[in-house]
Structure 1
Amino acid sequence: MEVWNHKSPLLPSDPYQRSQALFWGDYLDKKMYSCGKRIWVGKEDQEEAKEELMQILKTMEGELGDKLYFGGDSIGYVDVALVPFTSWFYTYETCGNFSIEADCPKLIAWAKRCKESESVSKALPDPLEIYGYLLQLKKRLGLN
């Protein structure tokens, strides 16, 4: 059992809710990285990757529902698992020529709420810096 003496634990104390949070964290870990990479690499399966990413994000938007955060009224485990990817949204959209906000407005609103927290905003990299780095990486790897 984890020891976390804090007023805002990342994982719920209820075993079912806890298992749900761990499930969604694992889901994001297994899906987002590979899907995002296939978008910025820009090969023949980019369209398929964009559709897959949008399905993942729509699924997460459905899981968010009308809650402020995946953790309810405060940031929780699933929020912490997903929010770093929001810094990559600009890169995905630019490389793939699509809009996440058009199909997932609630998720974008959630991301903005998360970034209002100083601890979150200070921890996330700037989306334009990620994109700039990625352009350099693609050039070095010959992926232009």
Structure 2
Amino acid sequence: MEKAAELKLLGFWVSPMVLRVEWAFMLKGITDYEYLDEDLLHNKSSLLLQLNPVHKKVPVLIHKGKAIAESLVIVGYIEETWKNHPLLPQDPYEKARIKSFAMFAEKLIFDSYTASWSQGEAKEKLVNSTIEAFEKIEEEIKGKKFFGGESVGYLDIALGWICLWLPAWEEVGSMTILDPKKFPGISSWVQNFVNQPVIKEKWPSKERVVKFYQERRIVRMGMVKQA
């Protein structure tokens, strides 16, 4: 088992990308690590700027003095380093397909968030394109308990933001993207995912998340008006 001094995670409490890494840790039984919460909005640490000087974003994993950035890259690293509780299938084609699907779904995070503070035609376009993308996700989960089959896997971790952040953005933006009647497979998966003990253990309150993004919406809309 790694010691906390050898394993550190730079994060931000409201980031679903950071939670991906912590979920992977929990599923692998990794609990002895040091978590350093960043103030991304007002005061990024010198350590973050040193380790991720280009993007200046979290998460950043530090393992035995070496830094790794980008959440899906980190989850892949965790999968390769700790072999217990595999998150990806062994078949090379299926493994590549799942990773490719996760990359496709990645854009939905930013489109959904952007839609929450956009207005008019721009917002409508983002909402419609996001719904179309979710139709592909619905096909992928149809007939399954998890994207990984009977247990939580890589794709479930990649799409975990749908369970809390998407409803928060829908509320903040007064919009509907994930209609349970239109997406019964995803809706069922959400319940299965959030009820996993290791998932619930690292789960911020919806009220706090909504409040954070309501404040960010005000800032973003102000920036648009000034432009």
Which of 163, 168, 173 matches 1:91?
A: 168
Asked whether 1:42 is paired with 2:127, we answer no
Cα deviation, residue 126, structure 1: 2.5
C-alpha distance in 2 between matches for 1:102 and 1:38: 24
In terms of mean alpha carbon deviation, does 73-82 or 49-58 score higher?
A: 49-58
Instruction: Determine what percentage of the aligned residue pairs are the same residue.
Output: 20
The root-mean-square deviation of aligned C-alpha atoms, in Å, is 2.1
Give 1 or 2 for the bigger CA radius of gyration. Answer: 2
In terms of mean alpha carbon deviation, does 58-67 or 132-141 score higher?
A: 132-141
Larger RCO (alpha carbons 8 Å, 6+ apart): 1
In structure 2, runs of 5+ residues without a counterpart are 1-76
Paired position in structure 2 for 1:136: 215
Asked whether 1:77 is paired with 2:154, we answer yes
Deviations 1:72-118 (A, max 9, x none): 11111100000123211222322142251232121011011011111
Paired position in structure 1 for 2:81: 3
Q: 1:38 to 1:97 in 2, by over 3 A?
A: same
C-alpha distance in 1 between matches for 2:102 and 2:138: 14
Deviations 1:11-51 (A, max 9, x none): 1111111111111111122x212211221112231111111
In structure 1, runs of 5+ residues without a counterpart are none
C-alpha distance in 1 between matches for 2:113 and 2:166: 12
Paired position in structure 1 for 2:185: 106
Is the 8 Å Cα contact of residues 138 and 186 (structure 2) preserved in structure 1? Answer: yes
Give runs of aligned pairs for residues 63-74 of structure 1, distance below 5 A.
63-74=140-151
Any idea what SS the aligned residue of 1:88 has?
helix
Which of 94, 100, 116 matches 2:195?
A: 116
TM-score relative to the length of structure 2: 0.57
Paired position in structure 1 for 2:206: 127
Give the structure with the higher percent helix.
1
